[in-house]
Amino acid sequence: MGFFNNEHPPLMAFAWRYLEKLLPGGAGLFLFHGLLFWIGFALFVSRVASSRGQALIACVGVSCFLPLLLSFGMLVKDGGFAYALALSSAALLRAERSRSIAWIVVSMCALLYAVGLRHNGLGAALPLALWAGIIAAPRWQAMCARIGQAKTATALGLIAFLYVGVGANLANRLLTSQEAYPAQMMLTWDITGVSVLSGRNYLPEFMTWDRRELTLDELARVYSPESNYFILWGPRTQPRPGWVYDDEGYAELRAAWIRAVREHPIAYLSHRMSAFIRFLGFRIRARAYWYPPSREIAAGRAWNSAIQSRLIGFAESHPQLIFFKAWFYVAIVALCVAVGARRRFASVAFWAIGASGILYECSYLFVSTAGDFRYSWWIMCVALMLPALLARDLARRPGASRGPGPSDPGCRLSPV
């Protein structure tokens, strides 16, 4: 039944196939991903901004924010993932006010698409699904009366989470005609790192070069905690582990990974921590990930090539700006969470969106394959949303000049 391999998300490839019939090339998918974000942004601003002036400032600020603006110039799953989560979060903000099941459905559909694009997207989805359960719980009065509102909200949230996780996985499986074993990119990198740090080659026997086993010196030359690029791609003449192409080989690779981690957990954690430090933007020499590069964009001679090549050229020339570092956005989120926890006035929306960003970013401690900034686009969006939510909740706290109005039920769980 499938049509695609799963090296890239089959769900995104499926959407692209039919959007291409409306707009040729990548224009349809670009437009679709752009609409996901900007519709979500409009919904978010409509719920958070208290005046037209604030809404105008938010629109101008976000439209001119270079890292976000540049993300729209890349047709990658990380962008679609972040934009779909932005729409999902904003739709739940609307549902929180109106108790509308329709907005919850919109949110869960966007969440399903997001999870279908990233193998580690479930961590980001869980807080949003639980938030949906909190919003929907009052409509299930009989269940609330029987087991309490908190348990009802949790049950509904877990059902929504199950729908998103199973639905995205099933959709990708049905659309996959050829298995590409995408997890091998992480497994091979981990095994190589553990081998270099422990002084023992843990690669499976079939991973040879020129019909001989790779030496530790050869593995050390291709290994870097910054990226798995030279392990899997790199120059054709450079000895490296290479790829898995069948179920048997993947089973051997997975068994080798388990053995390496079990026998040398310290080396594994050292490799992972070194990679995560670079993922956050510390001690990394590589440039922020922008593709295609500015020179290729300029050569393409599209209608927007001139301005796009200049913008990406600026980013390429200034990769060390804090705006292209994941730690900068993690710090903003951490600061907002600390203020919200200390003051104890933050809403469920604040905690759900914040937890979504934190869980997703933390998952890269174990699943990252490079230090590319594109992996942190969701935490970047969260860092833009949380201060606005915090300011809204501060203005609505008891004792402030403006209290929570009757049009905002369900911002907090009622006592059970």
| φ, ψ dihedrals at 212, nearest 5° | -140, 160
pLDDT single digits (tens) 162-217: 999 999 999 999 999 989 999 999 999 999 999 999 999 999 999 988 889 999 99
In the block, residue with structure tokens 């958070």 = 48
pTM: 0.90
For tokens 């997703």, the residue is: 360
Residue with tokens 């050569």: 299
pLDDT score at 285: 63
Is 286 contained in some domain? no
Give the chain's mean pLDDT.
89
**Within this chain, do residues 29 and 153 fall inside the same structural domain, yes or no?**
yes
pLDDT-based confidence at residue 398 (cuts at 50, 70, 90): low
Domain boundary among 245, 279, 313: 279
- pLDDT mean over 283-288: 66
For residue 298, name the pLDDT band (cuts at 50, 70, 90): confident
Same-domain pairing of 28 and 174: yes
Query: In the beta sheet, which residues pair with residue 5?
Result: 178
Whether 238 and 134 map to the same domain: the answer is no
Dihedral, 63, 123, 288, 306 alpha carbons, nearest 10: -40
Average of pLDDT values for 347-374?
Answer: 95
* 9/158 same-domain check: yes
Q: Which residues pair with 213 in a beta bridge?
A: 208
Backbone angles phi, psi at 102, to 5 degrees: -60, -45
User: So what's the pLDDT on residue 410?
Assistant: 41
Same domain, 61 and 27: yes
Work out the average pLDDT over 344-370.
Answer: 94
Do 128 and 37 belong to one domain?
Answer: yes
Domain-located, residue 335:
yes
For residue 414, tell me if it sits in a domain. Answer: no
**Per-residue pLDDT tens over the stretch 309-323:** 888 888 888 888 899
- On whether residue 223 sits in a domain, the answer given is yes
In a shared domain, residues 248 and 210? yes
Q: Are residues 239 and 329 in the same domain?
A: no
Q: Is 37 domain-assigned?
A: yes
For residue range 48-104, list pLDDT tens digits in order.
998 889 899 999 999 889 899 888 878 889 999 999 999 999 999 999 988 889 999
pLDDT value of residue 403: 42
Q: What does the pLDDT average to over 152-170?
A: 96
395 confidence band (pLDDT: 50, 70, 90): confident
309 inside domain: no
Nearest to 86 by CA among 58, 114, 67: 114
- The identity of residue 332, as a single letter, is I
Confirm whether 92 is domain-assigned. yes
169 with 191, same domain: the answer is: no
189 belongs to a structural domain: yes
pLDDT of residue 416: 30
- Angle 409-415-416 from CA coordinates, rounded to 5°: 120
Q: How many CA atoms lie within 13 A of 103 on its CB side?
A: 23
Give the whole-angstrom CA distance, residue 2 versus residue 358. Answer: 34
Pair 154, 190 in one domain:
no
Classify 301 in phi/psi space as left (phi over 0), alpha (psi -120 to 50) or beta: left
User: How far apart are alpha carbons 92 and 132 in whole angstroms?
Assistant: 7
Peptide bond into 415 cis (omega under 30): no
Q: Which residues contact 272 (CB under 8 A, 6 or more apart)?
A: 190, 365, 366
User: Does the pLDDT at position 409 exceed 50?
Assistant: no
pLDDT of residue 286: 55
The more confident residue out of 236 and 199 is 199
Please state the φ and ψ torsions of residue 227, each to the nearest 5 degrees.
-165, 155
266: Cα separation from own chain's centroid? 27
CA atoms within a 13 Å half-sphere pointing along the CA-CB vector of 203: 25
The whole domain housing 228 covers 184-279
Identify whether residues 74 and 94 lie together within a single domain.
yes
pLDDT of 348 > 60? The answer is yes
Into how many domains does the chain fold?
2
Tell me: do 217 and 360 sit in the same domain: no
List residues bridging with 176 in a β-sheet. Answer: 4
**The 3-state secondary structure of the chain, one letter per residue:** CCCEECCCCHHHHHHHHHHHHHCCCCHHHHHHHHHHHHHHHHHHHHHHCCCHHHHHHHHHHHHCCHHHHHHCCCCCHHHHHHHHHHHHHHHHHHHHHHCCHHHHHHHHHHHHHHHHHCCCCHHHHHHHHHHHHHHHHHHCHHHHHHHCHHHHHHHHHHHHHHHHHHHHHHHHHHHEEECCCCCHHHHHHHHHHHHHHHCCCCCCCCCEECCEECCHHHHHHHCCCCECHHHHCCCCCCCCCCCCCCHHHHHHHHHHHHHHHHHCHHHHHHHHHHHHHHHCCCCCCCCCCCCCCHHHHHHHCCCCHHHHHHHHHHHHHCCCCHHHCHHHHHHHHHHHHHHHHHHCCCCHHHHHHHHHHHHHHHHHHHHCCECCHHHHHHHHHHHHHHHHHHHHHHHHCCCCCCCCCCCCCCCCCCCC
Q: Which tokens sit at 214?
A: 């790779």
Could you report the per-residue pLDDT of 255-270, keeping only the tens digit for each?
999 999 999 999 999 9
